[in-house]
Structure 1
């Protein structure tokens, strides 16, 4: 059985969707990042980058959410594009676009807007602009195709769904009006029974919600180094 290191952040949630869509049995190991559990020796042995999610599948250990999606798709032979280098190249391009663009810029936009010390107008403007630019590219793509890889529902859509649920938090409440195709895509996937089950996982575990000093230092350890 797959051991799945989980919390309710976007990246673990998209892996939960993937596992549920594929019908793979898994055991959840909750990792509360606001308590600093990602820095424990036990978790660092699984993911030396101290980030959630990660999976252990027999002898295979995989970290980085997008690597996990690709690993599981290749393991099961499901939720991949049609055969051929053209389709595979398209899938890899969009998967890496989510990995290197959508996720990091959305996450940093939220970080600088919500958590970083002020004043930081330049950083807020920089990441808000880039996050919106990346989402506009996705919206244009979904304006031409049902899914990110054409008519085929793939792991790219799962990777995107993990973040598209949070676009109002990233871009503001006007995001829905600005990104109608992303909203259509989000609504379709969220209606899947697998997505309902993935989102329900949050009700089975209790994670710390307070952003106190302990949580800030656990999630942003550079602050501790700066103080030292």
Structure 2
């Protein structure tokens, strides 16, 4: 009888557990552990809905493509949940250049059009390339160089999901040619002719 009463006491005792969510207070400083939490009493259902990817992004740019991020900075409800998403829009000829996400794996779901995508392994430099159509899914392992390009004659779009609220991003072309990385060093470390390096710097806004 005492055992039964003890079990009832455990069941009826007030639960003590971590909060269910931590909607970010973005005005404070963020870090590896995330942002400070807003007061749960002031959080509403609207805080858990993001409408910023309803419409396509602006693809009138040098890559004929747009990425609309839905990271913790845009969607504070993601804070501490270990995930984020983004919308990709690629006009005909559009490309998301070779890039990496150092902090996350990525899953791509094509929502319209035809997208050719691929990644390069770090162990053997083997290349995996696939043509992905509406409703199909492709995965890109964390930290590997990968790309997406429009392989059709009409606009293409996709939704990508990451297992981090801040996956990080480094675009190879921009890292090499869109800054003040000296031309002679870029040429010397990539085996590209300096004239080509200067031309690419001119296109992407780099100097030096």
TM-score tier after normalising by the smaller chain length: under 0.3
Of structures 1 and 2, the one with the larger relative CO (CA 8 A, separation 6+) is 1
Larger helix share, 1 or 2:
1
TM-score of the superposed pair, with normalisation by structure 1: 0.20
